[in-house]
A and B are shown apart, each in its own frame.
Chain A
Amino acid sequence: MFEYAPAPESRSVVDIKPAYGLFIDGTFVDPTDGGSFKSINPATEEVLAEVAEGGAGDVDRAVRAARAAYEKVWGPMPGRDRAKYLFRIARIIQERSRELAVLESLDNGKPIKESRDVDIPLVAAHFFYYAGWADKLPYAGFGPDPKPLGVAAQVIPWNFPLLMLAWKIAPALAAGNTVVLKPAETTPLTALLFAEICQQADLPAGVVNIVTGAGETGRALVEHPGVDKVAFTGSTEVGRAIARAVAGTRKKLTLELGGKAANIVFDDAPVDQAVEGIVNGIFFNQGHVCCAGSRLLIQESVADRVLESLKRRMAQLRVGDPLDKNTDIGAINSAAQLARIRELSEAGSAEGAERWSPPCELPERGFWFAPTIFTGVTQAHRIAREEIFGPVLSVLTFRTPAEAVEKANNTPYGLSAGIWTDKGSRILWMADRLRAGVVWANTFNKFDPTSPFGGYKESGYGREGGRHGLEAYLNV
């Protein structure tokens, strides 16, 4: 046997303060009502920091600061200068990438190899991409002189904390808006480090404001009459509530919500790569991915073979310490999320699906869930319909391309889909029919700042990334 010795990434690169205030108008301030909450390391349940909980008064302060910055500084600033600030931020993110990666893994529980190789490089790339747009908006296809909206209220989830921040802040600032962003309550730390990066970049005060807190803070932000734009990434349930909350207002809304993507494997698929794609599709980031390929649809004629390969491959997944460079699957982000994953998995067993996980030792402390697949799943099972947002894959079979399309589309969601086949014309035929905003053919879970991302149906509306991503922040 070839046992890999522990290869932990050093924590010393990160300096976590015992307590953090709110970042409003360029400085860290105490919340008006003094509330706070703890952010913990989900892999150990160790408290990482005490973080301020923003109340309605704090949200109001932040929105006012953003408004003032919009009117006096950022709005009037020439695009080329906004661009330079964004380029500066992108560079600082690259320079401090290791620190950001370690902090992200500590606060979120994701493996360091993902925060290091995926999240943080994409964050920097996103700022680089949108920096370049700031002085080119008249060429973006939205008319000769597109205008920013004003103050953007942005609420982001815990699965890709800093990357979601980048997806929100970079296009907003490039288009000339100012922002008030609320990070998720379980993962606020990289957003707070980003606030320090804004200071380091000498970004004018009030252009970016970070108000930490939980659902109530988010609600106060979304409902604040002073915001012109609301952007949310998170659950469909909360997205619905936000859509109701902004009804009848002038606020422009974009939503990036849940998913239940079908990953479709045909009998002529490049099977080893397909298995990698299946694994990457559902076990990347512990399955805490809105576009996760959580429903595997295998053509019946190869179902046994693909499943056998998949199980063999799953047995190689290394679950454990997120800071170990060899960890493939880290910790579940929170006790609450773990409870949800467990509940749905138990429902899967209770409804008659067959559950399988590779032998795998889970740490005693922290929140953990072994990579799991359910076979014998039908469209009627809860685990085939509800978003689990964890490392749990439901396996279904199909016989014909038309049946695959029908099953894939048979969901209220429509965020992403995967197709695995060596036949080009079939890929295009399928891609035309799949009701999903992102279709990965012979690959999965690929992201790029130039590539629009977003869903059909109840997966939300609007696109993030690319030229399309600007539209959400322009008055068009």
Chain B
Amino acid sequence: MSERVAVRKTYKLFIGGKFPRSESGRSYLVQDANVSLASRKDARDAVVAARAAVKGWAGATAYNRGQVLYRVAEMLEGRREQFVALGVPGDEVDAAVDRWVWYAGWSDKLAQVYGGANPVAGPYFNLSAPEPTGVVAVVAPERPALLGLVSVIAPAVVTGNTVVVAASPTEPLAAVTLAEVLATSDLPGGVVNILTGRLSETVPTLAAHMDVNAIDLTGVTDAEQAADLEVRAAENLKRVLRPAPADHDWFADPGLTRMTALLETKTVWHPKGV
């Protein structure tokens, strides 16, 4: 008897809740696998999917979003070994699970911490509340491939944004595997879209895309490229999160800024009278 032939996995993109190959039909060899090489068209398709998902996701109750994020944590916990098999250290997987849990809890608290009543000098009810900015393009840090990725996706989506993520080009398998987690976590299709491949192909398209509201340049390591992307983003005045410093500690308390940078504050006035 010969040894059993294993079934290998095809690593594909994650767009609109589905796993398509790149429309370009290309892949690249990385981490001993053929990984989809996303094209500019894939990036545009991902933006369309992300935009379509905004209404439902931003309109969901905060409680519901929190439940979904917690479900992601549950699913990730269950696939811990799968990530370890890909070479992700166990403590990093644990931290990534914990990060989902941490952000899940923020869904119905941030508006209380970050918004509130304003005591204006007049007979008005006046309330400021944060709202998602919309579609966010995210360049995930190159490593840690899983914790870094989770640390940029979760704060964006917990508040109701949808994201198009350019995964680590050198370690994309964690991203594709995370997509499988997300696909089984009650997360509506299109809320998170993951592109693998070369940043130079997809990210400039996302930075210039007029239907993207914000861009998180965390994973951009080249200063000149970061500046170029910021210039592109200026065209429709995207909110820009600048690259993280090289020595950023991904295991540390992330604070609120990753969430608040991708929020709009809406202030509503109404007279008080009889």
- Which residues in A have their C-beta under 8 angstroms from that of B235? 240
- Which residues in A have their C-beta under 8 angstroms from that of B133? 456
1/0 per residue A217-242: CB within 8 Å of B? 00000000000000000001001100
Q: Given A439-B266, A439-B267, A442-B270, check contact A240 B237 (CB 8 Å).
A: yes
- Which residues in A have their C-beta under 8 angstroms from that of B233? 243, 247
- Cβ < 8 Å to B, chain A residues 397-444: 412, 414, 427, 431, 436-443
Contact of B25 with A by CB under 8 A: no
CB distance from A127 to the nearest CB of B (A): 14
Instruction: Give the number of residues in B that approach A within 8 Å (Cβ atoms).
Output: 37
- Which residues in A have their C-beta under 8 angstroms from that of B236? 412, 457-458
- Cβ < 8 Å to A, chain B residues 152-210: none
Are A427 and B270 touching (Cβ within 8 A)? yes
Q: Which residue of B lies closest to A468 (CB)?
A: B265
1/0 per residue A461-475: CB within 8 Å of B? 101001110010000
Tell which of B114, B223, B257, B270 touches A441, judged by Cβ atoms closer than 8 Å. Answer: B270
- Which residues in B have their C-beta under 8 angstroms from that of A468? 128, 265
Size category of the binding interface on chain A: 35 or more
Interface segment among B30-38, B95-103, B115-123: the answer is B115-123
- Which residues in B have their C-beta under 8 angstroms from that of A70? none
Contact of A454 with B by CB under 8 A: yes
Contact of B239 with A by CB under 8 A: yes
- Which residues in B have their C-beta under 8 angstroms from that of A441? 268-270
Tell which of A239, A453, A461 touches B267, judged by Cβ atoms closer than 8 Å. Answer: A453
1/0 per residue A226-264: CB within 8 Å of B? 000000000010011001101110000001010000000
Are B269 and A460 touching (Cβ within 8 A)? no
Q: Across the A-B interface, how many residue pairs have beta carbons closer than 8 Å? A: 105
Q: Given A438-B269, A441-B270, A461-B239, check contact A448 B126 (CB 8 Å).
A: yes
Are B118 and A448 touching (Cβ within 8 A)? yes
Interface segment among B68-76, B142-150, B224-232: the answer is B224-232
- Cβ < 8 Å to B, chain A residues 101-148: 125, 141, 143
- Which residues in A have their C-beta under 8 angstroms from that of B228? 247-248
CB distance from A63 to the nearest CB of B (A): 21
Tell which of B237, B265, B268 touches A460, judged by Cβ atoms closer than 8 Å. Answer: B237
Contact of A452 with B by CB under 8 A: yes
Contact of B264 with A by CB under 8 A: yes
- Which residues in A have their C-beta under 8 angstroms from that of B231? 244, 247-248
- Which residues in A have their C-beta under 8 angstroms from that of B239? 461
Q: Which residue of B lies closest to A236 (CB)?
A: B237
Tell which of A412, A437, A442 touches B264, judged by Cβ atoms closer than 8 Å. Answer: A437
A interface list, Cβ under 8 A from B: 125, 141, 143, 236, 239-240, 243-244, 246-248, 255, 257, 412, 414, 427, 431, 436-443, 446, 448, 450-454, 456-458, 460-461, 463, 466-468, 471, 476
B interface list, Cβ under 8 A from A: 113-114, 116, 118-122, 124, 126, 128, 133, 213, 223-224, 226-228, 230-231, 233-237, 239, 255, 257, 260, 264-271
**13 examples of A-B residue contacts, CB within 8 angstroms:** A125-B121, A236-B237, A246-B230, A247-B234, A248-B227, A414-B264, A438-B267, A439-B269, A440-B268, A441-B268, A443-B124, A446-B269, A451-B126
